């Protein structure tokens, strides 16, 4: 079965510092991995995805993610955090079945303080 | 930029009542999804829909739930007889393809409160 784990419920970072939000996955076959962000009272916004190729994937708002097959991880990163990055971040893997559902991790609350 | 829209933003209903949640997916997308997020919990898949048929459904999506695409633009989720445990945020999503390489785009959600 496909699954995703986000080991940290909350990550606290000072503005200007680098941030990492962790994600590990368990899949059969090739993983198709996604990061979404949810701002308060908003829907989920797509940030980036890993399909194949370069292990470092660049996405929206200066975010990037590093795919590591040996560690089955797909950590989200940003070199310099902004207060406006404070939100709930979800890692997800695309399911194997015909419908292509997303299977989400439990989410990580990122708090960036000035 | 095209967006998925959902109405209403908040629905309050009494236990046992029927509710219909509405979504307008992105116009050139062919695959449609409903997810829900109970407060404080992860986002859970409910159902996927393509070519006027359910492609896949989760164990949550029992006989009380149904989906429909009544016209060329709307995609609806109906709960026939709501329970307290149906209280959640319901998200609609759409995708250009079911292929796993394609991302899904989510609407802002409908917060359903069952009293």
Identify the band that residue B1 occupies on the pLDDT scale cut at 50, 70 and 90: confident
Give the pLDDT confidence score for residue A98 in this predicted structure.
Answer: 66
**B104/A45 touch (CB, cutoff 8 Å), yes or no:** no
With a pLDDT cut of 90, the percent of chain B lying above it is: 80
Question: Best of A44, A45, A50 to disrupt the B interface by mutation (most B CBs within 10 Å)?
Answer: A44
CA end-to-end distance (rounded Å), chain A: 41
B38/chain A closest Cα distance in angstroms: 11
Say which range, A22-31, A45-54, B11-20, B97-106, has the weakest mean pLDDT: B97-106
pLDDT digits (tens, 9 = 90+) for B81-95: 999 999 999 999 999
Task: Determine if the peptide bond prior to B8 is cis (ω within 30°).
Answer: yes
**A42/B108 touch (CB, cutoff 8 Å), yes or no:** yes
pLDDT digits (tens, 9 = 90+) for A53-111: 889 999 999 999 999 999 999 999 999 999 999 999 999 998 777 678 899 999 999 99
Spatial CB neighbours of B59, under 8 Å, sequence gap ≥ 6:
none
pLDDT digits (tens, 9 = 90+) for A10-65: 999 999 999 999 999 998 888 899 999 998 877 899 999 998 888 999 999 999 99
Residue B98 has pLDDT above 80, yes or no: no
Residue A1 has pLDDT above 80, yes or no: no
B39/chain A closest Cα distance in angstroms: 12
* DSSP 8-class letter at A61: G
- Mean pLDDT, chain B, whole residue set: 93
Mean pLDDT of the B31-46 span: 93
- Chain A hits for B101, Cβ within 8 Å: 32, 49, 51
Query: Which of B 50-79 lie inside 8 A of A, CB atoms?
Result: 50, 55-56, 58
A91 forms beta bridges with A35
Alpha carbon A110 to its chain's center: 11
Contact at 8 Å (CB) between B108 and B48?
Answer: no
Q: Report the C-alpha gap between A8 and B47 in whole angstroms.
A: 28
**A102/B35 touch (CB, cutoff 8 Å), yes or no:** yes
Taking the Cβ of residue A46 and every Cβ of chain B, the question of whether any pair is shorter than 8 Å is answered with yes
Compute the radius of gyration of chain A from its Cα atoms: 14
Give the pLDDT confidence score for residue B62 in this predicted structure.
Answer: 94
């Amino acid at each position: 079965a496909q699954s995703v784990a986000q080991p940290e419920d909350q990550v606290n970072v000072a503005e200007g510092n680098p941030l990492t939000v962790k994600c590990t996955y368990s899949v059969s076959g090739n993983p198709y991995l996604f990061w979404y962000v949810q701002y308060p009272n908003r829907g989920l916004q797509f940030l980036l995805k890993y399909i194949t190729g370069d292990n470092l994937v660049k996405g929206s708002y200066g975010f990037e993610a590093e795919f590591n097959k040996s560690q089955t991880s797909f950590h989200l990163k940003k070199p310099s955090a902004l207060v406006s990055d404070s939100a709930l971040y979800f890692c997800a893997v695309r399911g194997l079945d015909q419908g292509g559902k997303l299977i989400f991790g439990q989410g990580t609350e990122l708090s960036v303080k000035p | 930029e095209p967006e998925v829209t959902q109405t209403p933003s908040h629905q309050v209903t009494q236990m046992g009542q029927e509710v219909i949640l509405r979504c307008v997916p992105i116009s050139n997308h062919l695959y449609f999804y409903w997810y829900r997020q109970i407060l404080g919990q992860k986002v859970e898949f409910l159902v996927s829909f393509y070519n006027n048929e359910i492609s896949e459904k989760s164990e949550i999506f029992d006989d009380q739930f149904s989906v429909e695409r009544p016209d060329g633009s709307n995609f609806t989720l109906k709960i026939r007889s709501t329970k307290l445990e149906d209280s959640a945020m319901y998200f609609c999503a759409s995708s250009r393809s079911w292929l796993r390489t394609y991302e899904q785009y989510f609407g802002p959600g409908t917060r359903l409160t069952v009293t």
